[in-house]
Amino acid sequence: MNKATTIGYLQLDGKRAWKRALESFWQEKTSEEALHQTLKTLRLHRLHKQESYGIDHVPVNDFTYYDRMLDTAWMFNLIPARHRTNDTPDVTEYFAMARGTVDAGACAMKKWFNTNYHYIVPEYENQPLKLVRNLPLEAYAEAEAAGITDAKPVLIGPYTFVKLSSGFNSLGEGLEAVLPLYTQVLAELNARGVNWVQLEEPYAVTDEAEADAESLAHVYETLSEVAPNIMLQTYFEAPAVYETLTQLPVAGLGLDVTKPRTQKLLKTQGFPADKVLAAGVIPGDRIWKQAPAQVETLLRFVEETAHPKALWVQPTTSLLHVPETKTHETRLSQTLYDQLAFADEKLAEVKTAASRTAPAETTHPAPVNEHAAVFAGVDTHRGTNADKRRVAQQSFQLPLLPTTTIGSLPQTTDVRKLRRDYKQGELSAAAYEEALEARTAGWIETQEALGLDVLVHGEFERNDMVEYFGERLEGYAFTDFGWVQSYGSRGVKPPIVHDTVHRPEAMTVKAAVHAQSLTEKPLKGMLTGPVTMVNWSFLPEDQPKSVTAAEVAEALAEEVRDLEAAGITMIQIDEPAFKEGYPLRAADQAAYEDWAVRTFQRTHRDVADSTQVHTHMCYSQFEEILEAVGAMDADVISIEASRSRGKILEAFADGQFVNDIGLGVYDIHSPRTPAVAEMEAMIERCLDLFPAERFWVNPDCGLKTRSEAEAKASLEAMVEAARNVRERV
């Protein structure tokens, strides 16, 4: 019998009580007092829940009001000047940093490693740091008062915290600033009689950690002097600095032992005999039930290779990345339902695995290679070059610097109500379609009046760009309560791919043809690309991600063919999640790029030269991925360019990038109408790098979250900017 442990639990519950509590406070419908009370109830509930499943050392301080990086910054008084209103920060500062105020923009938000969760980036401005509140200690005391005596306070480790913050000139400077605070937190925990504390260092799995090994060692040598037993927890990959970690004076090391790299490290380098090994054996970021015999096989492998002082059995990651429980789902087939394990089901799996009662299998199952090659021996490329196509596509007769949008137009309350009424059966299919067509017709007129050169139908039928296609493809399933936190109180319900994906019938042709029939101007058909479709879904566990992407690509290729045959000869295939999906380790990137590029290529391989293919990516650090983006070979790629005021284009100019570029000239996330002169200046800066013939002008993403008035005002300014520059070149 081993200990059954968890790294952390989720906050966005299936019924979304946590989200409602926050949002009702933000809308000033409930008091601060009521907010604290409701969240305390939820917090204690989950502690007791984990306890009732038999979890040892239940984690505390993993529960947050918004984000754990933010919690840590706030508790250290790391508050940007623009958000500070009180000497001693309280919830006002906390939510100002998270969400911004009328006067001050929020702190930046970034992707949490290779997940779809986004954290708040703390901003160091040389402000004096101090420990405002010892949150882990408070959480521990609260658990103790509730009868849980051996709770494990958890917090993001100093190394990862500094690496993910902004404003420190160096790692050294950052550690110097925060290490005394961590020391104080841990010393107070120790004085309180805390047994174990978990410090999370996911940054130690990145390639960069190799260069930081010395600092990492310094941190833990310092902290171990004052702290309770430290469980140094890693996740998402094997540590890049395994040797360093094994030599640290910490009491335990947490590893994802399902990763082939970790298994190799255990085999070749062993494990220190004086440490507890917290073995991640139940995938914390996937949703499939594990066969007990396979888990037992893995545990035996770990024991035989590692010989740790003690073995803890746990999920590979925090349960933040999966939904709460499958038990309220009623729409799933029995077969699928039986195969699933969400967070609560995983608690049971951990307990079962730790009881060590399952028989082992004789053979160790080979790990699935996420990034396996697909389309071997198939030529996925269109087979012509951009210049030749550019000539064929002159038939569109577009002006210089053509203007367009990214696809979605404002989804006002009445549009969302239409979709809801239809889904609930209160509106017939015919009435629903008619209402959507009317909405499109109105916006075709508006787009023409605004003077846009290439129009869109508006995507009013789509709640979500992945869900919409998932619902029309076979092989996908959807949950009712399968929420996963994306950032703050926002959640997504990722679709579940559980079978071979294919397309029973056309998905977008009717709406596109209808919209095109209303205008002489070209209209773009709108699809979601294969890479985004897989990066934003839960995928089958026993097959590589690339295989699902290839199936989706074939389905999309059919859709592209049908659109083209129906006269829609400008087709946009969105890939906002292309960059997001990059693996954490540089060594894995070539394999990812191979399948990602080839599946995208496959979607448009068969079209005529005169058909123009667009793609769209949001903010993507293009410097790092330009070769792959070039290889995707869409005729036009629209990108986010406004944050850097066009500077991002320099990356494109350096490389061999031959396609056209849609400049995302303003930030759609802001309700502010962009200034015409600002956009003009930005376009002109880009004209120094490429001839005007290579550029389009567009917003930096879809407009679905904007009001109609905001969208119209911004587009009007954008068209004016494009026209002004057009006259000058």
Instruction: List residues with catalytic annotation.
Output: 669
Report, in Å, the least distance between residue 465 CB and ligand GLN.
Answer: 5
Binding-site sequence positions for 5-methyltetrahydropteroyltri-L-glutamate: 19, 116, 536
Site mask for Zn ion (CB under 5 A), range 531-570, x = bound? ----------------------------------------
The stretch among 70-78, 173-181, 288-296, 618-626 that binds Zn ion (CB under 5 A) is 618-626
In one-letter notation, the amino acid at residue 527 is L
> How far apart are alpha carbons 381 and 604 in whole angstroms?
8
Binding-site sequence positions for L-methionine: 406-408, 459, 574
**Which of ligand GLN, Zn ion, none does residue 526 bind to, with CB < 5 to 8 Å depending on kind?**
ligand GLN
> How far apart are alpha carbons 547 and 385 in whole angstroms?
27
Report, in Å, the least distance between residue 236 CB and Zn ion.
Answer: 25
Is residue 181 within 8 A of residue 136, CB to CB? The reply is no
Q: Which residue in the set 704, 706, 715, 717 belongs to the binding site for ligand GLN (CB under 6 A)?
A: 704
DSSP line for 484-509 = EEEETTEEE---EEEEEEE-SS-SSH
Q: Which residue in the set 21, 39, 151, 618 belongs to the binding site for Zn ion (CB under 5 A)?
A: 618
Report, in Å, the least distance between residue 322 CB and Zn ion.
Answer: 26
Q: Is 408 in the site for ligand GLN (CB under 6 A)?
A: yes
Dihedral sign for Cα atoms in the order 26, 32, 34, 36: positive
In one-letter notation, the amino acid at residue 200 is E
The closest alpha carbon to 186, from 61, 87, 88, 310, belongs to 61
The stretch among 400-408, 418-426, 473-481, 501-509 that binds ligand GLN (CB under 6 A) is 400-408
The closest alpha carbon to 649, from 683, 618, 613, belongs to 683
Is residue 130 within 8 A of residue 99, CB to CB? The reply is no
> How far apart are alpha carbons 617 and 640 in whole angstroms?
7
Phi/psi zone of residue 458: left (φ > 0), alpha (ψ -120 to 50 degrees), beta?
A: left
Q: Which residue in the set 83, 545, 602, 616 belongs to the binding site for ligand GLN (CB under 6 A)?
A: 616
The stretch among 79-87, 352-360, 405-413, 517-525 that binds ligand GLN (CB under 6 A) is 405-413
**Which of ligand GLN, Zn ion, none does residue 407 bind to, with CB < 5 to 8 Å depending on kind?**
ligand GLN
Residues 545-574 that bind ligand GLN (CB under 6 A): 574
Report, in Å, the least distance between residue 404 CB and Zn ion.
Answer: 13
Q: Is 321 in the site for ligand GLN (CB under 6 A)?
A: no
The stretch among 205-213, 335-343, 511-519, 571-579 that binds Zn ion (CB under 5 A) is 571-579
Residue nearest to ligand GLN (CB): 702
Place of tokens 């840590």: 72
Report, in Å, the least distance between residue 601 CB and ligand GLN.
Answer: 20
Q: Which residue in the set 407, 458, 470, 522 belongs to the binding site for ligand GLN (CB under 6 A)?
A: 407
Closer to ligand GLN at the Cβ: 47 or 526?
526
The site for Zn ion, by CB under 5 A, has a size of 3
The stretch among 267-275, 338-346, 404-412, 475-483 that binds ligand GLN (CB under 6 A) is 404-412
> How far apart are alpha carbons 496 and 510 in whole angstroms?
26
> How far apart are alpha carbons 241 and 250 in whole angstroms?
15
Q: Which residue in the set 576, 630, 646, 664 belongs to the binding site for ligand GLN (CB under 6 A)?
A: 576
Closer to ligand GLN at the Cβ: 488 or 529?
529
Binding-site sequence positions: 19, 116, 406-408, 459, 536, 574, 616, 618, 640, 701
Report, in Å, the least distance between residue 532 CB and ligand GLN.
Answer: 8
Report, in Å, the least distance between residue 462 CB and ligand GLN.
Answer: 8
Closer to ligand GLN at the Cβ: 252 or 410?
410
Q: Is 152 in the site for ligand GLN (CB under 6 A)?
A: no
Q: Between the CA of residue 644 and those of 296, 565, 573, 683, what are the distances in Å?
A: 51, 39, 24, 12
Q: Is 618 in the site for ligand GLN (CB under 6 A)?
A: yes
CB atoms within 10 A of CB 651: 18
Determine phi and psi for 62, rounding to 5 degrees.
-85, -20
The stretch among 461-469, 560-568, 596-604, 615-623 that binds Zn ion (CB under 5 A) is 615-623
Q: Which residue in the set 576, 581, 630, 674 belongs to the binding site for Zn ion (CB under 5 A)?
A: 576
Q: Is 635 in the site for ligand GLN (CB under 6 A)?
A: no
> How far apart are alpha carbons 529 and 511 in whole angstroms?
18
CB atoms within 10 A of CB 399: 10
CB atoms within 10 A of CB 233: 28
- Helical H segments across 123-170, by residue range: 135-145, 158-164
**Longest alpha-carbon distance in the chain:** 77
Q: Which residue in the set 278, 507, 526, 665 belongs to the binding site for ligand GLN (CB under 6 A)?
A: 526
What is the 3 state secondary structure string of 147-159? CCCCCEEEEECHH
> Hey, what are 233's tokens?
């927890």
**Residues counted in the chain:** 729
The closest alpha carbon to 494, from 119, 116, 12, 120, belongs to 116
Q: Which residue in the set 202, 470, 495, 702 belongs to the binding site for ligand GLN (CB under 6 A)?
A: 702
Closer to Zn ion at the Cβ: 470 or 576?
576
Report, in Å, the least distance between residue 357 CB and ligand GLN.
Answer: 47
Reduced to 3 DSSP states, what percent helix, strand and coil does the chain have, rounded to the nearest 5?
45, 15, 40
The closest alpha carbon to 666, from 684, 642, 645, belongs to 642
Site mask for ligand GLN (CB under 6 A), range 353-392, x = bound? ----------------------------------------
> Hey, what are 141's tokens?
């005391």
Site mask for Zn ion (CB under 5 A), range 682-721, x = bound? -------------------x--------------------
The closest alpha carbon to 461, from 516, 407, 404, belongs to 407
> How far apart are alpha carbons 309 and 303 in whole angstroms?
10
Q: Which residue in the set 97, 701, 717, 718 belongs to the binding site for ligand GLN (CB under 6 A)?
A: 701
Q: Between the CA of residue 317 and those of 285, 609, 665, what are the distances in Å?
A: 7, 47, 38
Report, in Å, the least distance between residue 512 CB and ligand GLN.
Answer: 13
Paired residues of 696 in beta bridges: 662
DSSP line for 415-437 = HHHHHHHHHTTSS-HHHHHHHHH
Q: Which residues bind Zn ion (CB under 5 A)?
A: 576, 618, 701
Q: Which residues bind ligand GLN (CB under 6 A)?
A: 406-408, 459, 465, 526, 574, 576, 616, 618, 701-702, 704
